[in-house]
Amino acid sequence: MQNDKSTSKKNKSSTDDLLKGNGGETHQQAGGDHSQLTTNQGLGISDNQNSLKANPRGPTLLEDFILREKITHFDHERIPERIVHARGTGVHGFFELTDSLQKYTSAKILTEVGTKTPVFTRISTVAGGSGSVDTPRDVRGFAVKFYTQEGNWDLVGNNIPVFFIQDAIKFPDLVHAVKMEPDRGFPQSASAHDTFWDFISLTPESMHMVMWIMSDRTIPRSLRMIEGFGVHSFRLINENGDSTFVKFHWRPKLGLQSTVWDEAVKIAGADPDFMRREMFEAIEAGNFPEWEFAVQLFTQKEADQFPFDHLDATKLIPEELVPLKVIGRMVLDRWPNNFFAETEQVAYCPSHVVPGIDFSNDPLLQGRLFSYLDTQLSRLGSPNFHQIPINAPKCPFANHQRDGQMQMNQPIGRVAYEPNTLSKDSPRESPSGFQSAASNESGDKGRIRPESFADHYSQARQFFISQTSYEQAHIASALVFELSKVEHLHIRVTMVTHLLHISQDLANRVAKGLGLDEMPAAAQAAAKAQDMPPSPALQTIGKMKDTLMGRSIGILVADGSDAALLESIKKAVLKAGASVKVVGPKIGGAKLSDGSLYPVDGQLAGTPSVLFDAVAIVLSSEGARILSAEAAVIDFIRDAYGHLKAIAIDKGGQILLDKANVTADKGVVNASDNEAFISAAKTRQFDREKTVRTLA
């Protein structure tokens, strides 16, 4: 006992030191003496190590209110995770307008050039739980909360410009189908299972989205290398009340980049937090991710000419039809102080708009306007969720809503209604407030899907023909992979009946990959597909940037590695804007050729090549000989090669390449040729792929 107590005192002072260096004051709810540990009632605690017992070896007493308070609070630490998009990474930053949309909208955020508006952006996966891995094949959510002078505007989008379904009433079914199957509780965070493809095979409107999710878009390399889309058409409304339709786009400054499927799977094992960690490290290093903000603007008259209905969320507006106009940028530059308080509690709602921005009649959007506010009530537990600091507007807000659970404010006075004569200062409605666009609605009431929503295949076809041959092969292979996980043959077959409307070639490749005996007849289509011209803007590979900025290079070393060569590669890579991690067999470091001890950044077994965009092998012949017995080293090389990465090798590297049975191609370069290495590392060696795996 006595000993325990003295340990406790010792620990306390060292904890205090840690807190001081770490903004420890935020650990206290209220002001006061920060060195004193207290209960939530402010009662000083003299022993935080031992519960109150009847005797030293006796039962714990119910009387121990300090134990009960602490454990009760702990038991309630979690709030329900989001039903979708549970796993996310949030970062603070700002939005800056570069081009005014004054002609189209009265929203100050879109008219005041140069104003920096704070934002909180959360990027998420959709299907997995909050503790799931970062790299499943999945859509990425892209939600931005703009804290504008006129109220919070939430643009709650995805990294794909279209969606699975046309009507919100189907959303719970879609989500139930993709989530873990309810009787068995798996698979976690994966669409490759029967219930998902069963639902999809019966939902032809999802075929365009299916093309996107089977493409490399859903296995991004980094959260900093994805696009964002508001998906729906919204309206902009100007001072005169004129309305223009708008689609919102985010385009990453680092360009788009994806992983290859086998790599994404292996990253999940090597580092389940890969994307979150990568974002954290980039922000810590001052490499702030940035996106361009762009709009597509169009009138009702123009929309009437489109060969599709823009109110249908399974359709996009090709850039060739309505070009993108870049009007601003977003920079993310500050990691949250507390994950729970900010990333977990942030509540986005598509219904959060500002004057000058309004909704379209898209039936998916209309349903979302209800769902998000509703979900916050169960997640955050109270209609006062807007008072949580991450959700509170940064402009003044006032109304007569009162009370409720967890009310933090104490409004004064006897008036809590409007209009009133008793309180001159109380808030009133004003003409500058939000106004809905005046629109003339007529027609028959009913549960009707408009005729203009009937074409489910044209844009799926356009997407497929717009891809490079590499990406087409990835789409076909992803379909084969996913459908091969489906136990029921009829679901696999039905999916092929839809693909026949998109591309005979794609259907053939998938049917062959699945080993179908014969080609089924095409599904019955509600409307005949039209041929639309290819749109290169729909590619991922086409949107890769010729840069090493934001990329990460791994250099494998061991005792005896050439110190000068290591230094020269490091210098060149850093100059090109990438980050470098040196990997070795022991975390303590490697003794280099010049006798110096180089402390490495990662130990080989825990730092495989899947974590890098390209690798360099700098080894002495002796070092290579010793390492060649390690499976982790052979995997390091084989995976880098199989994932189409550039590999720089010296003499020792060549020994390992031979051992790994890897044949050099133009992506394998001499480690002393920095220029060649950097140029090869800026891309992936897509031509190599046919030599390392059989694609559909």
Give the C-alpha separation, 595 to 151, whole Å: 62
Per CB under 6 A, the list member of 130, 371, 387, 593 interacting with ligand HDD is 371
Closest CB to ligand HDD among residues 126, 476? 126
Q: How far is the CB of 414 from ligand HDD (least distance, A)?
A: 36
**What is the residue-wise DSSP string for 6-65?**
HHHHHHHHHHHHHHHTTTGGGG-SSSS-TTS-B-TT--B-S-SS---BSSTTSPBPTT-H
Per CB under 6 A, the list member of 132, 135, 158, 243 interacting with ligand HDD is 158
According to the binding rule CB under 6 A, does residue 231 interact with ligand HDD? yes
24-32, 76-84, 333-341, 513-521 -> range binding ligand HDD (CB under 6 A): 76-84
68-76, 78-86, 246-254, 415-423 -> range binding ligand HDD (CB under 6 A): 78-86
Going by C-alpha positions, the residue among 391, 283, 256 that lies closest to residue 683 is: 256
User: Do 233 and 244 touch, CB atoms closer than 8 A?
Assistant: no
Per CB under 6 A, the list member of 293, 348, 359, 636 interacting with ligand HDD is 348
Closest CB to ligand HDD among residues 393, 577? 393
User: N- to C-terminal Cα distance for the chain?
Assistant: 69
Closest CB to ligand HDD among residues 250, 598? 250
4-12, 248-256, 341-349, 402-410 -> range binding ligand HDD (CB under 6 A): 341-349
Marked catalytic residue, from 92, 152, 158, 391: 158
**Window 649 to 678, contacts with ligand HDD (CB under 6 A):** none
Site of tokens 């408009």: 450
Q: How far is the CB of 694 from ligand HDD (least distance, A)?
A: 35
Closest CB to ligand HDD among residues 260, 313? 313
According to the binding rule CB under 6 A, does residue 88 interact with ligand HDD? yes
Per CB under 6 A, the list member of 146, 171, 248, 293 interacting with ligand HDD is 171
Which residues, 6 or more positions from 621, have their beta carbon under 8 angstroms from its beta carbon?
651, 652, 655
User: Do 645 and 615 touch, CB atoms closer than 8 A?
Assistant: yes
Which residues, 6 or more positions from 633, have their beta carbon under 8 angstroms from its beta carbon?
556, 604, 627, 656
27-35, 151-159, 254-262, 591-599 -> range binding ligand HDD (CB under 6 A): 151-159
Confirm whether 158 is a catalytic residue.
yes
The beta-carbon contacts of 390-397 under 8 Å, at least 24 apart in sequence, are 390/120, 390/341, 390/342, 390/345, 390/346, 391/145, 391/152, 391/345, 391/346, 391/347, 393/147, 393/151, 393/152, 394/118, 394/147, 395/147, 395/148, 395/149, 395/150, 395/151, 397/151
Which residue lies nearest ligand HDD, judged by its C-beta?
Answer: 141
Closest CB to ligand HDD among residues 82, 235? 82
Closest CB to ligand HDD among residues 155, 256? 155
**Window 266 to 325, contacts with ligand HDD (CB under 6 A):** 313
Q: List for the chain the helix, strand, coil content (%; round to 5).
A: 35, 15, 50
User: Do 447 and 436 touch, CB atoms closer than 8 A?
Assistant: no
According to the binding rule CB under 6 A, does residue 82 interact with ligand HDD? yes
According to the binding rule CB under 6 A, does residue 220 interact with ligand HDD? no
According to the binding rule CB under 6 A, does residue 168 interact with ligand HDD? yes
163-171, 538-546, 591-599, 684-692 -> range binding ligand HDD (CB under 6 A): 163-171
According to the binding rule CB under 6 A, does residue 364 interact with ligand HDD? yes
Cis peptide before 419 (omega within 30 of 0): yes
C-alpha distances out from residue 462 to 241, 305, 319, 653, Å: 36, 18, 13, 44
Looking only at the bridges linking them, the beta strands covering 597-598 and 590-591 are antiparallel
Closest CB to ligand HDD among residues 65, 339? 339
Q: What type of residue is 304?
A: D
Confirm whether 238 is a catalytic residue.
no
According to the binding rule CB under 6 A, does residue 619 interact with ligand HDD? no
82-90, 449-457, 551-559, 635-643 -> range binding ligand HDD (CB under 6 A): 82-90
Q: How far is the CB of 87 from ligand HDD (least distance, A)?
A: 10
Q: How far is the CB of 554 from ligand HDD (least distance, A)?
A: 31
User: Do 527 and 308 touch, CB atoms closer than 8 A?
Assistant: no
**Tally of CB atoms within 10 A around 492:** 24
Per CB under 6 A, the list member of 19, 37, 67, 83 interacting with ligand HDD is 83
**Window 91 to 150, contacts with ligand HDD (CB under 6 A):** 122, 124, 141, 143
94-102, 343-351, 474-482, 494-502 -> range binding ligand HDD (CB under 6 A): 343-351
Q: How far is the CB of 375 from ligand HDD (least distance, A)?
A: 4
According to the binding rule CB under 6 A, does residue 85 interact with ligand HDD? yes
Looking only at the bridges linking them, the beta strands covering 140-148 and 151-158 are antiparallel
Closest CB to ligand HDD among residues 361, 504? 361
**Cα R_g (the chain), whole angstroms:** 29
Assigned token pair, 531: 């041929």
According to the binding rule CB under 6 A, does residue 372 interact with ligand HDD? yes
Starting at the edge strand found earlier in the chain, the sheet holding 614-617 runs 602-603, 579-584, 552-556, 614-617, 646-649, 668-670
Closest CB to ligand HDD among residues 204, 363? 363
Give the C-alpha separation, 355 to 358, whole Å: 8
Q: What DSSP state is assigned to residue 520?
A: P
Q: Which residues are catalytic?
A: 85, 158
Binding site for ligand HDD (CB under 6 A): 82-85, 88, 122, 124, 141, 143, 156-158, 163, 168, 171, 231, 313, 346-348, 364, 367-368, 371-372, 375
